[in-house]
Amino acid sequence: MTDGPAAPRLRSLAESDLDEVLQLNQRWVPHVGSLRFDSLAELVDLAELAVGAFADGELAGFVVVLGPGAGYASPNYRYFSARHRLFTYVDRIAIAPRAQGTGLGRVLYEGVVDHARGVGSPVVCAEVNLDPPNPGSQAFHERLGFVEVGRQWTYDDTVQVQMLELVL
C-alpha cells in the first residue's frame, strides 16, 4: 500500500512567507480583498493569529484572524467591533486551488475556533461576498455552522457582503 500525500503542516506565518501569501491572496480576488505587500505585512502585524499550511514546502492555504481593539480600517471588521466587546474575526482564508475540497479550510477553521476558545472569545465572525457572488465560500461557512447576522454594501457600494457568526 502506498501512502497518500502528507497532511499539510501548520505554522505561524513568517515575514519570509509573505510573497507566497500575497500571490495566493491575489489569486482569489475578488473573493478576498486585494492587498499589496505592505498592506499584507501590516495586516499580519495586527493579527492575533496568522497561520499557513504548507505541503511539500509550498503554501497550500492560510488564514488571518484579528481580535478586538485592532487599528484596522476594514468596514467589515468595524461592523463586528460595533456588535461585540470580545470576538474573533476571520479577515481572510484562502486555499490553493490544488488543495481545495480536501478539508484544509475546515482544519484551519478548527485552529481558529481553538484560538478563540483559548482567548475566551465567545464568537467567530467572518463575511462572504454576495455580490460578486462566492457560493463556494457561502456553502463552506454554512457547513461549518455559521449563520447570517446581517448584510452590508461596502467599498462605494461595489461589494455586498453577508455577515456571518459562529457562536461558540
3-state class (DSSP) for residue 61: strand
3-state class (DSSP) for residue 25: helix
Q: Which of 10-18, 26-34, 115-123, 145-153 is the region at the interface with ligand COA (rule: CB under 6 A)?
A: 26-34
Confirm if 12 and 51 have CB atoms less than 8 A apart.
yes
Residue from the set 18, 28, 35, 51 that interacts with ligand COA by CB under 6 A: 28
3-state class (DSSP) for residue 21: helix
Q: Does 105 bind ligand COA (CB under 6 A)?
A: yes
Q: Does 78 bind ligand COA (CB under 6 A)?
A: no
What is d(CA 120, CA 80) in angstroms, rounded to the nearest whole number?
16
* Shortest Å distance, C-beta 82 to ligand COA: 20
Q: Does 136 bind ligand COA (CB under 6 A)?
A: yes
* Shortest Å distance, C-beta 137 to ligand COA: 4
Which residues on adjacent β-strands are paired with residue 63?
51, 93
